[in-house]
Amino acid sequence: MSSILKVDTIQTTAGAAPTAKDLGFSPDSVIQTKLWYVTPVVVSTSGTWAAGTVPTLANTYTVGDYSFTKKHSDSKVIAIVSGHVDHESTTSHPSIVALLESAGTFMGAAYRHVLRQGNEPMPYCFSGEDTTSGTSKTYKLRCHSSGTAMRFGRSQTNNSSHVFTVVFMEIAQ
């Protein structure tokens, strides 16, 4: 025999909205996981990039945005970024890929000094966390290079063989 329980609102005995812990999630439990396949894109870059520069929304170029709805305002989000970037046969150019929260909160980045580049995408891998509150989040994948372009999820000759992904995990606090 099966039963269905439907409720409009769940509250603690004190009348407050329950936290993840109140609902049985222990701290550091994964509440949800989402996978973003970054659409293959060529990002034109201009200017220079120096090692040690902190990436911001103002000094980097847009690769793509991802909307993520957290189930609990007080949880944090861990991001794992991994993928290939082709640097359009450029040589001796500093390059960076970064992830920021829409308000500009820096989450993480990977830096490479591209010494010699043929038609071979290079891996960029890093992770970061967002501990800001709120449930409606937008994450921004950004880049910059002293070269002319960065190709995400593709190379100059093959548009589909190199994947770039971001895994988002909402973690209970």
Residue 122's nearest CA partner among 94, 141, 100 is 94
Domains of the chain, by residue range, sit at: 31-171
If you average pLDDT over each of 97-101, 109-113, 117-121, which comes out highest? 97-101
Q: What is the pLDDT of residue 160?
A: 64
Of 12-21, 26-35, 58-67, 91-100, the least confident: 12-21
- What Cα–Cα distance (Å) separates residue 99 from each residue in 22, 25, 88? 31, 27, 22
Largest CA distance in the chain: 69
- The CATH number of the domain covering residues in 31-171: 2.60.120.1340
pLDDT tens by residue, 61-99: 999 999 999 999 999 999 999 998 888 777 778 899 999
pLDDT over threshold 90, residue 14? no
Q: What is the pLDDT of residue 117?
A: 61
